[in-house]
């Protein structure tokens, strides 16, 4: 969900070629995972014309050394509780 919000931040709404007004965002959806490709659909509130736009983001890879793994202690369920 964060990726979709991030792709909408830099998105500029197209201008309707018929009416000349700014179109409104109608729908956004994820098309591909790698690279992350979002499809954005716009419609004109006056003439109901549709337009589409795509945003593509390359995945960011983080080296495993930057992660800190936490180990959890497991309780043995077969032991008698005291």
pLDDT digits (tens, 9 = 90+) for 57-68: 777 666 666 556
Q: How many residues does the chain have?
A: 82
Judge if the upstream peptide bond of residue 58 is cis by omega within 30 degrees of 0: no
The 10s digit of each residue's pLDDT in 21-53 is: 999 999 888 888 788 888 899 999 999 999 988
DSSP class of residue 66 equals G
Instruction: Look up residue 61 and give its two tokens.
Output: 């890879």
């Amino acid at each position: 969900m964060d990726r979709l919000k991030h792709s909408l931040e830099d998105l500029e709404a197209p201008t309707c070629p018929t009416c000349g007004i700014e179109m409104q965002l109608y729908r956004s959806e994820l098309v591909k995972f790698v690279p992350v490709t979002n499809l954005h659909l716009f419609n004109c509130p006056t003439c109901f014309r549709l337009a589409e736009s795509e945003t593509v983001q390359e995945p960011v890879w983080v080296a495993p050394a930057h992660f800190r793994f936490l180990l959890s202690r497991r309780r043995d369920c077969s032991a008698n509780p005291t």
